[in-house]
């Protein structure tokens, strides 16, 4: 959680090489003085994992409590938080991470929709979300010349960013359900699998691969990893696959407390604000 940035935290910081893409413009001319995203430190990945777990168990808890309330909170909360975030002219940890949490809850509900409503296998849903994610990334890259998060200095790029984030949550939810349920790995082995896969972009980055590609790969993998951890803690021992039975309500509450503490700490200390210049990596 310090600025010393171990390799896993410093990965996107390698995207500081100069590039023509670092001079953003929009049709309205509106730009932000600094990127509207946090510096990617260890705490970034910790809070991101918390949001994935909270989104997973909160969606299940709300769904069993009241479907109408779940829809209102999930959908209404997502759009309200996104609107609040998009109105800001600079990065603010409460707005940013609140929006990520809203995306986590809404993304879980959306990802489960095709399987529940149409009966499509989670593996098929995973492929559909992967195709949509790659399509948005290609559109973003073609339009803006970079996928570097340090280039999020215009409203257009920020919209691309949040669209991409939403799709990573949908993809990750479907992937986690695929491994735990359809492939029969259960939650514990899914955690091992996705934890090991998280090391791949780190090693690739250390070997000289694109920092931008490594970041988005790791970002996408945090969703199934965090969701598998949360489900493993919350799901009943008698369920298939079984969990530890702590219940979705308890796991959600504990996650929210940890989330609030960390985001509050970021708000007070400003330790993840990007105060340096980050010319965008065109990759």
What's the mean pLDDT when you consider all of the chain?
Answer: 89
271 SS3 class = coil
* pLDDT confidence tier of residue 30, bands split at 50, 70 and 90: confident
pLDDT attached to residue 280: 60
Considering the entire predicted model, what is its pTM?
A: 0.87
Residue scoring higher pLDDT (278 or 139): 139
Domain contains 19:
no
**Domain annotation covers residue 137:** yes
Q: What is the pLDDT of residue 10?
A: 45
C-beta of residue 191 within 8 angstroms of C-beta of residue 232? yes
Is 274 inside any structural domain?
A: no
Q: Looking at residue 29, what is its pLDDT?
A: 65
Say if 231 falls within a structural domain. Answer: yes
Give the H/E segment covering residue 283. Answer: none
pLDDT recorded at residue 220: 97
User: Within a domain: residue 12?
Assistant: no
Please write the tens of the pLDDT for every residue from 92-123.
Answer: 999 999 999 999 999 998 887 777 778 889 99
Predicted pLDDT of residue 115? 77
Domain of residue 258 covers 35-269
Number of structural domains (the chain) is 1
17 within some domain: no
pLDDT at 276: 57
pLDDT of residue 27: 42
Which pLDDT score is estimated for 277? 60
- pLDDT, residue 109, reads 87
Tens of pLDDT, residue by residue over 147-205, are 999 999 999 999 999 999 999 999 999 999 999 999 999 999 999 999 999 999 999 99
d(CA 210, CA 14): 9
Write the pLDDT tens digit of every residue in 11-28. Answer: 544 444 333 344 444 445
235-278 residue pLDDT tens: 999 999 999 999 999 999 999 999 999 999 999 999 999 765 65
The answer to whether residue 140 sits within a structural domain is yes
Q: Is 228 helix (H, G, I), strand (E, B) or coil?
A: helix
Which structure tokens are listed for 64? Answer: 């069993």
Residue 3 included in any domain? no
What would the two tokens of residue 74 be? Answer: 């999930």
**Residues 45-86 pLDDT 10s:** 999 999 999 999 999 999 888 888 898 999 999 999 999 999
pLDDT given for residue 117 in this prediction:
77
Among 107, 83, 96, 255, CA closest to 167: 107
């Amino acid at each position: 959680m310090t600025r010393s940035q171990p390799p896993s935290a410093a990965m996107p910081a390698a995207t500081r090489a100069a590039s023509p893409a670092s001079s953003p413009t929009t049709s309205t001319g509106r730009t932000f003085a600094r990127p509207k995203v946090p510096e990617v430190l260890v705490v970034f990945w910790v809070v991101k994992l918390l949001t994935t777990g909270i989104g997973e168990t909160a969606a299940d808890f709300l769904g069993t409590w009241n479907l109408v309330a779940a829809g209102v909170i999930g959908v209404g909360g997502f759009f309200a938080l996104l609107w609040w975030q998009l109105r800001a002219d600079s990065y603010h940890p409460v707005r940013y991470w609140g929006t990520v949490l809203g995306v986590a809850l809404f993304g879980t509900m959306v990802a489960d929709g095709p399987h529940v409503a149409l009966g499509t296998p989670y593996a098929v849903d995973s492929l559909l979300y992967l195709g949509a994610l790659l399509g948005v990334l290609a559109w973003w890259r073609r339009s803006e010349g970079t996928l570097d998060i340090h280039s999020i200095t215009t409203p257009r790029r920020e919209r691309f960013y949040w669209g991409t984030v939403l799709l990573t949550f949908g993809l990750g939810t479907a992937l986690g359900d695929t491994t735990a349920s359809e492939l029969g790995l259960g939650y514990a082995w899914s955690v091992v699998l996705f934890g090991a896969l998280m090391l791949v972009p780190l090693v690739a980055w250390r070997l000289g691969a694109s920092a931008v590609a490594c970041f988005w790969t790791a970002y996408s993998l945090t969703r199934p990893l965090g969701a598998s951890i949360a489900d493993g803690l919350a799901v009943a021992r008698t369920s298939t696959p079984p969990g530890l039975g702590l219940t979705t309500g308890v796991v959600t509450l504990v996650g929210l407390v940890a989330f609030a503490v960390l985001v509050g700490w970021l708000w007070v200390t400003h330790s993840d604000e990007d105060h340096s210049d980050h010319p965008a990596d065109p990759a």
